[in-house]
């Protein structure tokens, strides 16, 4: 399905936010939301970003469409560097990327009718006559499975699933190339999940869209995404094609995530992680996962694991997997310490 044209390219992206509070003259602290992430998204594929809350997946997506300015690194969309563009050029480029939000209850203006909501992007872009806009809105409503007579009703008249459909219609109204779905179903009822996911899959086929799909539900991601990226505390832990990762999850965190999913297959071995996610203000120095890792070794605490390609297109950041022994890490550690002295 995907040909090899990268539509989005991210190089060494880091996003830090200044932390609130602290003493007036104390050293300013930063929340390291995303640290050193590089990736490429190809045209026509569905790229999944997976992780727990606070791992930086939404920040990464926001940086991808230029809503958050990165502290370091570069985002290229269709060969244009997003953050060196002029304001007008940037607006031009942004048209081709749209977003579907998590909570359809708060992402639609309650005082706008459905027609106003869906036509607003066209209105802002300009150059459409009223007739064209109306025809396009009707076409979009049909595409997302809503009725013609819903045109002048207000968001409060709709159920959660229908609201999300309106949000989707708004996002695709300008024929974007890239659609970012930030937890599109997690605020909806279980029986509606499947409807919305099926709609997204159908739209992708019809409109040749590229998706970035953010979710914490690995069972959903498995059926939707072509490639996935597993994040923890702002860093990439594992990335690769969905098939390889589900068949052969290597990173202990990916394993834990997979086994933590409760699904209907009742009898299954489970590894349950200890503890909570550490604060992103002072993330652990070495591997970010070591405190909760069941296989943590001596060096994991101090030396960061690099992202290594273990098999074609399957990257893992873990000392254990990349084949370092405890002694080698200890040696490396000594070297680093000597260097510092």
Partner 1 sequence: MSNILLKLRNLKVIFPANQGIVRAVEGIDIDIAKGECVALVGESGCGKSVTSLAIMRLLNTPPALIDVKEINLDGEDISKYSETKMQTVRGKQISMIFQDAMTALNPVMTVGKQIDEVYLKHNNISKQEARKQTIEALRLVGIPEPESRAKAFPHQLSGGLRQRVLIAMAFACMPKLIIADEPTTALDVTIQAQVLNVLSQMQRSHNVSLLLITHDLSVVAHTADLVYVMYAGKIVEKARVEDLFKKPHHPYTEGLLGSIPRLSDSKKHFIQIPDSVPHPMFKPSGCYFHPRCKYVTDKCKELMPPLVKIDKDREIRCFYPLNVDKEGKL
Residue choice 216, 255, 283, 330 for contact with partner 1 (CB under 8 A) = 216
CB of 190 to partner 1, least distance (A): 6
Interatomic CA distance for residues 53 and 102, integer angstroms: 13
Q: Which of 67, 72, 124, 194 touches partner 1 by CB under 8 A?
A: 194
Please report which residue ranges of 144-241 form alpha helices under DSSP H.
Answer: 160-171, 190-207, 218-224
Identity of the residue, 50 or 118, whose beta carbon is nearer to partner 1 in the bound complex: 50
> Scanning residues 268 to 327, which ones bind partner 1 (CB under 8 A)?
270, 272-273, 276-277
User: Using an 8 Å Cβ cutoff, are 253 and 332 in contact?
Assistant: no
Stretch that binds partner 1, among 147-155, 189-197, 301-309, 330-338 (CB under 8 A): 189-197
CB-based contacts of 322, cutoff 8 Å, min separation 6: 305, 306, 308, 310, 316
Nearest to 298 by CA among 332, 275, 248: 332
Of the candidate spans 67-75, 84-92, 172-180, 267-275, the one that interacts with partner 1 by CB under 8 A turns out to be 267-275
165 vs 170, which CB is nearer to partner 1? Answer: 165
Query: Binding to partner 1 by residue 20, rule CB under 8 A?
Result: no
Q: Which of 74, 78, 153, 193 binds partner 1 (CB under 8 A)?
A: 193
- 3-state secondary structure at position 52: coil
DSSP 27: P
Residue 264 binds to partner 1 (criterion: CB under 8 A): yes
Min dist CB 188 to partner 1, Å, is: 9
CB 97 within 8 A of CB 76: no
* Dist. CA 212–CA 314, nearest whole Å: 18
What DSSP line would sit under 284-304, residue for residue? -SS-TTTTT-TT--TGGGTSP
Size of the site for partner 1 (CB under 8 A): 40
Instruction: Assess 153 for contact with partner 1 (CB under 8 A).
Output: no
Task: List residues binding partner 1 (CB under 8 A).
Answer: 52-53, 159-162, 189-195, 197-198, 201, 216-220, 222-223, 246, 256-266, 270, 272-273, 276-277
């Amino acid at each position: 399905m995907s040909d090899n044209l990268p539509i989005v390219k991210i190089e060494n992206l880091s996003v830090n936010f200044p932390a609130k509070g602290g003493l007036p003259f104390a050293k300013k602290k930063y929340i390291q939301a995303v640290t050193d992430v590089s990736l490429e998204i190809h045209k026509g594929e569905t790229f999944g970003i997976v992780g727990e809350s606070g791992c930086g997946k939404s920040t990464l997506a926001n940086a991808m469409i230029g809503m958050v300015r990165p502290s370091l690194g570069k985002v290229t969309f269709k060969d244009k560097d997003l953050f060196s563009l002029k304001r007008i050029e940037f607006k031009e480029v942004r048209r081709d990327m749209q977003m579907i939000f998590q909570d359809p209850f708060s992402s639609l203006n309650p005082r706008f009718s459905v027609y106003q909501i869906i036509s607003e992007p066209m209105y802002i872009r300009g150059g459409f006559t009223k007739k064209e806009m109306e025809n396009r809105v009707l076409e979009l409503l049909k595409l997302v499975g809503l009725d013609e007579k819903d045109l002048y009703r207000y968001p409060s008249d709709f159920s959660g699933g229908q609201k999300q459909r309106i949000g989707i219609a708004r996002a695709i109204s300008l024929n974007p190339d890239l659609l970012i779905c930030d937890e599109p179903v997690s605020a909806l009822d279980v029986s509606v999940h499947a409807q919305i996911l099926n709609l997204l899959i159908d739209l992708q086929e019809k409109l040749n869209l590229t998706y970035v799909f953010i979710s914490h539900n690995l069972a959903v991601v498995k059926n939707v995404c072509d490639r996935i990226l597993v994040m923890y505390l702002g860093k990439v832990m594992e990335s690769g094609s969905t098939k390889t990762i589900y068949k052969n999850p290597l990173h202990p965190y990916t394993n834990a995530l997979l086994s933590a999913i409760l699904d209907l297959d009742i009898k299954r071995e489970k590894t349950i992680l200890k503890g909570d996610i550490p604060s992103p203000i002072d993330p652990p120095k070495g591997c970010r996962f070591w405190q909760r890792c069941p296989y943590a070794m001596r060096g994991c605490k101090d030396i960061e694991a690099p992202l290594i390609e273990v098999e074609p297109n399957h990257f893992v950041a873990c000392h254990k997997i990349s084949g370092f022994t405890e002694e080698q890490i200890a040696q490396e550690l000594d070297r680093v310490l000597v260097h510092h002295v």
